[in-house]
Amino acid sequence: MTNTDRLVATFASSLNIEASQVVDGLEYNTIPQWDSVAHMVLVAALEKEFDVMLDMDDIIEMSSVGIAKEILTKHDVVF
């Protein structure tokens, strides 16, 4: 499984959406399933999956799937 596969699977299971919906352009708060409550579930799941600790700025900035990749890249996850 590539890191992109793991990212997509984590998004899909945390937000309870189809993997096909998880594209770079998917944005926070544009679908009912990705609201502030789900965001915290997602953050916890990403931290666990990639063994990283995201800080406050990371989770506030993480407003799309694409940006989530950039933030994880900053934490040495390679996509």
Partner 1 sequence: MSDWKSLEVFGLAKEDKQAWLLDELNRLTLHHQASCQPYANLLAGQGQQAGVAESLDAVPLVAARLFKMLRLSSTQPEDVFKTLTSSGTTSQVKSQIVLDRDTAALQSKVLVSLLSSFTGKARRPMLIIDHDGLTSNREGFSARGAGVQGLSFFGRDHTYALNADMTPNWQAIDDFIAKYSSEPVLIFGFTFMVWQHFIQPLKASGRIDQLSQALMFHSGGWKKLQDRAVSNDTFKTTVRQVLGKDVAIHNFYGMVEQIGSVFVECEQGHLHAPSYADVIIRDQETLEVKKIGKSGLIQVLSFIPKSYPGHSILTEDLGRLLGEDDCPCGRKGRYFEVLGRLPKTEVRGCSDVF
> Which residues are at the interface with partner 1 (CB under 8 A)?
29-30, 32, 35-37, 40, 43-44, 47, 53-57, 59-60, 63
CB of 70 to partner 1, least distance (A): 18
Return the structure tokens found at 4.
Answer: 């992109």
Query: Which residue in 39, 33, 37 sits closest to 60, CA to CA?
Result: 39
Q: How far is the CB of 34 from partner 1 (least distance, A)?
A: 11
Structure tokens at 20: 């096909």
Q: Min. distance of Cβ 45 from partner 1 in angstroms?
A: 12
CB atoms within 10 A of CB 74: 11
Q: What is the maximum span of the chain, computed from C-alpha positions, in angstroms?
A: 30
Q: DSSP label at 2?
A: -
